Chain A
Amino acid sequence: MPNILVFAESRGTELRKVALETVTAARTVVDAWGGGEVHALVAGAPGVGAKAATLGQHGADVVITCEHPAYARYARESIAATIAARATSAGYRAVLLPFSAQGRDLGPRLAAKLDAPIVSDAIEVSGSGDSLVVKHPGYANKVIVTLTVAGAPAVISIRPSAYSPKDAPRSAKTESMQPAADPAAERVVVKEIIEGAKGKLDLGEASVIVSGGRGLRGPENFKLVEDLAAAFGNAAVGATRAVTDEGWRPHSDQIGQTGRQVSPQLYVAVGISGAIQHLAGMRTSKTIVAINKDPDAPIFKIADYGIVGDVFEVVPALTTAVREARKAH
């Protein structure tokens, strides 16, 4: 039976949501094959193994933990060597990882080590036997490319949010392993982690994103956007390149072709014109709301709900209304 190895991403001693998503993706593929096992490898700081049990809940048959104090920070070469060692010793039809900052960094390392074909940013994986079929949005999400991958193991990274974690409980067998390369020998060493603001939700994990554009006129007015995000509860704040270029917000908040690509349940565009490069990063959002004073702004062409008006008038009113609507629940 063909099995799949999943790299279940963690940070410190916490599993990330993409870890559950990637296990669900692997479970879906293996079930479509009519059988086979999902093996999930967790590499993190001591203590991460205790959290790894939840992976069985989402369909992992075997959970392999590799704990090391140096894994509290991202030890890229050692972790890549560890995944490659497991892939080689156990033999897999495919190795799946998330298309996250870490997964993007690890995937090509693994592919080169294993001399395995690699495809990035899959939204769907199917096929069996000699060739797997992967759908991948290329050209900044403007073209859906279907790729055939020949050869095993195929290294495939999965787009965050493409698969939502599903329950497929089983009592996973647990194993542990040692790092396959000494993390003290890394050529790239993490000197410092600059944490984002406490409790700040990542754009990739937020179900609601409120984004601001140049229409806000200055960094001080992002308070309006932050207040609206807070009213929604589970929301993160994004920005356009016009805004990050001005330094009103950090580049890491930028959404679009050359920034982050997101698909939240709800995307609220505040004072954003809707340039094609911005749309490339958010057009797959489930519901889009736009507030802009220019009725001809291109953002209205793709907004499910638009309000033509001044952000300084509309956004505070919307913040109050959302807060009240959520309180009434």
Chain B
Amino acid sequence: MCIKRTPDSESRFKIGAGRSAIDETGLKFDMDDFASYAVEVALQMNEKQGPGETVAVAVGPDSVQETLRKAMSMGADRAVQLKTETTPFDGLAVAKAIAAELNGGGYDLILFGKYAFDTSASIVGTAVAELLGVACVTAASTLEIANGRGTARRELEGAGEVVQFSLPAVVTIDEGIARPRYPSLKGIMAAKKKPLETKPAQLGPVRVTVTSMELPPDRPPGRIVGQGAAAVPELVRLLQTEAKVL
């Protein structure tokens, strides 16, 4: 499972002095939400169908070690940090680092989040699959493995798709499939002794770079039209004459 460390999504963001990054002061960072679903799916699968080994991989500076420890406190057996100075916004560059690490094989499933909160891109998992030449199912909302084959469901716009695929495979995980567990005290203690290996990341060339960041324009402040059903005629009038959506 490939996990990313991202800022807490409930934060109020400010743009940093250089206008090309968010201001990180005071922000809490944690395992990305979708990545935590991927970890939970991997652990449940191993509990049901193991014993196998579950490995957490993160590309980034030393701060990602905390996130990798969290994955191990949830139950992952070991962790690998692919070390970079900073984590680029370029999804293909990150995918190349992960693919280089996994090139030797030794896995049945590589799980990713459907997208990461910060990049909101849905790139890394699928690109890794393509670089490794293995099957890839994106945005799985269910996942089962039996007899060396996988079955998953994906939500398309207005329809669902049930797919079958060969292993090894990359699957990117959608929400709703499993709620991530909280690390137990015992898990946290055990994680301290689990192996965390650090290697230099073989990032590909970084060709996508952030030139600036800005906050989106605020919506005009809200307005209360009135109370109860008595306010309905006025609302309908505003929708017709002011908003012109009716």
* B243:A304 contact, CB within 8 angstroms: yes
A120 CB–B CB distance under 8 Å: yes
Give B214's nearest chain A residue, CB to CB. A144
Q: Is the CB of A139 within 8 A of B235?
A: no
**CA separation between A121 and B121, bound complex, in Å?**
7
Interchain CB contact under 8 A, A148 and B156: no
A193-207: CB near B (< 8 Å → 1, else 0) gives 111100011111100
B9 proximity list for chain A (CB < 8 A): 139-140, 257, 276-277, 280
Task: Report, as a range, how many residues of chain A touch the other chain.
Answer: 35 or more
**From residue 27 to 62 of chain B, which have CB atoms closer than 8 A to chain A?**
33-34
A317 touching B91, Cβ below 8 Å: no
- Does B198 have its Cβ within 8 Å of any Cβ on chain A? no
Shortest beta-carbon distance from B227 to chain A in Å: 5
Within A127-161, the residues touching B (CB, 8 Å) are 133, 136-151
Min CB gap A202→B, angstroms: 4
Complex Cα distance, B151 from A257, in Å, reads 26
Contact A308 B243 (CB under 8 A): no
* CB-based nearest B residue for A207: B245
- B121 proximity list for chain A (CB < 8 A): 119-121, 136, 138
User: Given the known A-B contacts A104-B122, A307-B235, are A147 and B209 also in contact in the complex, defined by CB atoms under 8 Å?
Assistant: yes
Contact of B213 with A by CB under 8 A? yes
Chain A 4-31 interface residues, beta-carbon cutoff 8 Å to B = none
Report B-chain residues with C-beta under 8 Å of the C-beta of A146: 210-214
Interface size class of B (residues with CB under 8 A): 35 or more
Cβ-defined partner of A148 (8 Å) among B126, B158, B163, B211: B211
Contact B223 A251 (CB under 8 A): no
Task: Report which of B7, B139, B165 forms a contact with A101, defined as CB distance below 8 A.
Answer: B139
List B contacts of A288 (CB < 8 A). Answer: 219
Further 15 A-B residue pairs, CB within 8 A, beyond A101-B138, A276-B10, A322-B236: A107-B126, A109-B129, A111-B92, A117-B207, A138-B120, A139-B22, A140-B117, A188-B164, A191-B151, A191-B163, A196-B159, A265-B245, A287-B243, A305-B239, A307-B227
27 A–B pairs (Cβ distance < 8 Å), ordered by A: A101-B139, A101-B155, A108-B127, A108-B130, A109-B127, A112-B126, A112-B130, A117-B207, A120-B120, A138-B119, A145-B89, A190-B163, A191-B162, A194-B161, A194-B162, A252-B155, A252-B160, A266-B239, A266-B243, A276-B9, A276-B10, A288-B219, A306-B224, A307-B235, A314-B229, A318-B236, A325-B240
